[in-house]
């Protein structure tokens, strides 16, 4: 874990996929179903995992090539239709998330989510797992016209929270998360529960690099102290 001194925030904004939850099985299913229906070359599960967190148009061009960019609407429709059938049932909130959210609430810190996933789908999963009351606001794909690494979702979350950027953290697992935080002037906490390694975050200067979000509250109790400097592979 890498960390540097920082004051406690008023709010923490979280990415969703690979940060608070693992929905990779559902995403793989949806993408492969859309590719099959469209006659596209089928991507492997590992190739798809590395696109999790990107917008649906970016997923199509990353996996199938920019020559198919004109088919984005068809891909989106097929992806979303399949997601309505399988996504919630194939999404698992990480084990330490409920206790972490409760701890933040107990300290008077608001929690929010800013994701490229649809808000209604995130809210469905939070409601299913009894976590909806612990998340102050959710900003999803339908709430902004530009997606990460554009900072629009973070700026909208700050507006909903009525919190300044300097008084918030953004917690995420990917480079688009890190860049969005930088462009929104929000301190970034990287978690290694996705497919991005610690060294890849270095140029963005995260205030911490944690194994997963379950370590967040423990880090926050010590972040005003000197702390130890440990580097992750």
Work out the percent of the chain whose per-residue pLDDT is above 90: 89
Q: What is the Cα 31 distance to its own chain's centre?
A: 18
Specify the pLDDT at position 225.
54
The whole-chain average pLDDT of the chain stands at 92
* pLDDT exceeds cutoff 70 at 232: no
pTM of the model: 0.89
Q: What is the pLDDT of residues 11-48, one digit of tens each?
A: 999 999 999 999 999 999 999 999 999 999 999 999 99
**Under 8 Å between Cβ of 138 and 90:** no
At 99 the three-state DSSP class reads helix
Q: What is the pLDDT of residues 201-213, one digit of tens each?
A: 999 999 999 999 9
Confidence of residue 55 (pLDDT cuts 50, 70, 90): confident
Query: Which of 218, 171, 181 lies closest to 203 in space, CA to CA?
Result: 181
* pLDDT exceeds cutoff 60 at 231: no
**Beta strands 92-93 and 21-22, pairing class:** antiparallel
Q: What is the pLDDT of residues 113-140, one digit of tens each?
A: 999 999 999 999 999 999 999 999 999 9
Lowest mean pLDDT among 53-62, 66-75, 163-172, 177-186: 53-62
Q: What is the mean pLDDT of residues 82-94?
A: 96
Specify the pLDDT at position 221.
86
Domains along the chain? 2-22+92-222 (3.40.50.1000), 24-90 (1.10.150.240)
Q: What is the mean pLDDT of residues 74-87?
A: 96
Based on DSSP, count helices (H) and strands (E) in the chain, helices before strands.
9, 9
**Under 8 Å between Cβ of 224 and 8:** yes
DSSP 141-200: GGG-SS-TTSTHHHHHHHHHHT--GGGEEEEESSHHHHHHHHHHT-EEEEESSSS--GGG
**Under 8 Å between Cβ of 104 and 189:** no
Residue 140 CB contacts under 8 Å (≥ 6 apart), including other chains: 113, 115, 116, 117, 118, 119, 120, 121, 122, 153
Query: Which of 114, 157, 160, 118 lies closest to 141 in space, CA to CA?
Result: 118
């Amino acid at each position: 874990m890498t960390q540097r001194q920082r004051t406690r925030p008023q709010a923490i904004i979280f990415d969703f996929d690979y940060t608070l939850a693992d929905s990779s099985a559902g995403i793989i299913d949806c993408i492969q179903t859309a590719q099959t229906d469209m006659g596209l070359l089928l991507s492997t599960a590992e190739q798809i995992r590395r696109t999790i967190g990107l917008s649906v148009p970016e997923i199509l061009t990353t996996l199938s090539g920019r020559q198919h960019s004109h088919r984005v609407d068809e891909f989106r429709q097929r992806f979303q239709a399949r997601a309505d059938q399988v996504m919630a049932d194939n999404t698992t909130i990480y084990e330490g998330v409920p206790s972490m959210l409760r701890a933040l609430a107990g300290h008077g810190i608001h929690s929010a989510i800013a994701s490229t996933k649809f808000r209604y789908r995130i809210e469905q999963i939070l409601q299913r797992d009894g976590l909806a009351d612990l998340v102050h606001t959710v900003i999803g794909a339908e709430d902004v016209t530009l997606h990460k690494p554009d900072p629009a979702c973070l700026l909208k979350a700050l507006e909903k929270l009525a919190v300044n950027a300097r008084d918030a953290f953004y917690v995420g697992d990917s480079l688009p998360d890190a860049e969005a935080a930088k462009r929104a002037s929000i301190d970034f906490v990287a978690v290694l529960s996705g497919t991005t390694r610690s060294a890849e975050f270095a140029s963005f200067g995260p205030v911490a690099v944690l194994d997963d979000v379950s370590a967040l509250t423990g880090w926050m109790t010590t972040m005003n102290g000197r702390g130890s400097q440990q580097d992750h592979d």
